[in-house]
Amino acid sequence: MVSLTRGKVEITDLSKNGTWVNDVRMAPGSSQRLVNGDRISLGGVAIYLCHPQGTAAATDTWSEQTAIQPASVFVTSLVADVRGFTTFSQQADSAVVHAFITDLFARFTQIVSQHHGTLKDYVGDAVFAFWEHPLGGGAEYARSACQAAIDQMRSVPEIHRQLARRGLTMARPRIGWGLTSGLITLSHFGSRASDLALVGDCVNLAFRLSTMANKTIPTPILLCSQTAAMVSDQLRLVDMGCQPIRGRTGQEQLFGIQLD
């Protein structure tokens, strides 16, 4: 749905197959401001917004709904998981817990957007985002996901300091990141646009890796071998060896990102 209110244009994703703004998929059910020249893609149609400054204030809406069509796509998934959140929630004042999660989710979501990713979900104390690879492309999207994880990690100390300045006392949070790449099925469970589902082994693996990073494996950001292969020419990686993954047979070769 596109709305024009008081001279401002905003789009809300109510589609079943997704909406892209400037080639970045919107999170299902989310809204964002549009500016003159933005490219909107949905249902195989591309629309360019022409909205010069000074357009008269008006209120009008347009909406579309597409059919549910499961699609096989290649994505890089990012999951950021807070270490010890259950214990923290039990011991800390609820106002501190709320402030921390609110600030953390807001900053992490902003970073995903800055790196042209799609925020899929907040799952308990975890943030789940993904980068959809177009046909014939890939490495640059995996690198964007990795850089988003690095920037998220570097933002945590400042979030902690901001809470302290507001008089909210807590130990410095520890967070683990898992990044994986592979084919998934993009579809819906349920009837709402927000019920977008990413189904695939690589997504499950991203969640597993996020629980191992900064915990059983001493590195904050863990990559699967497929993601590592796409970013090794741009990032310094550390081979963490073949590791067993809880709930999975066999082992996975994992990599960490070497940071300055």
Per-residue pLDDT of 79-103, as tens digits, reads 999 987 777 777 778 888 888 889 9
Q: Tens digit of pLDDT for each residue in 118-157?
A: 998 888 889 999 999 987 667 999 999 999 999 999 999 9
Q: Residue 34: give the domain boundaries.
A: 2-62
Residue 148 shares a structural domain with residue 199 = yes
Q: Do 152 and 97 fall into the same domain? A: yes
Instruction: Write down the mean pLDDT value for the chain.
Output: 83
- pLDDT beyond 80 at 260: no
CATH number at residue 182: 3.30.70.1230
Domain match, 107 and 46 both? no
37-49: average pLDDT: 73
**Which of 62, 82, 100 marks a domain boundary?**
62
Residue 95 sits in the same domain as residue 199: yes
Do 138 and 211 belong to one domain? yes
Do both 129 and 225 map to the same domain? yes
Whether residues 218 and 143 share a domain: the answer is yes
Predicted pLDDT at 125: 85
Do 42 and 82 have their domain in common?
no
Three-state SS letters, the chain:
CEEEECCEEEEECCCCCCCEECCEECCCCCEEEECCCCEEEECCEEEECCCCCCCCCCEEEECCCCCCCCEEEEEEEEEEEECCHHHHHHHCCHHHHHHHHHHHHHHHHHHHHHCCCEEEEEECCEEEEEEEECCCCCHHHHHHHHHHHHHHHHHHHHHHHHHHHCCCCCCCCCEEEEEEEEEEEEEECCCCHHHEEEECHHHHHHHHHHHHECCCECCCEEEEHHHHHHHCCCCCEEEEEEEECCCCCCEEEEEEECCC
Residue 130: per-residue pLDDT: 95
pLDDT, average across residues 35-47:
74
Residue ending a domain, among 62, 79, 110, is: 62
Q: What CATH number is associated with residue 22?
A: 2.60.200.20
Res 52: pLDDT: 61
Predicted confidence at residue 37, as pLDDT, reads 77
Say how many domains are in the chain: 2
If asked whether residues 51 and 78 sit together in one domain, one would say no
**Same domain, residue pair 8 and 85:** no
Report pLDDT for 17. Answer: 65
**Whether residues 18 and 93 fall in one domain:** no
pLDDT at 24: 78
Q: Are residues 79 and 142 in the same domain?
A: yes
- C-alpha neighbours within 13 Å on the C-beta side of residue 247: 8
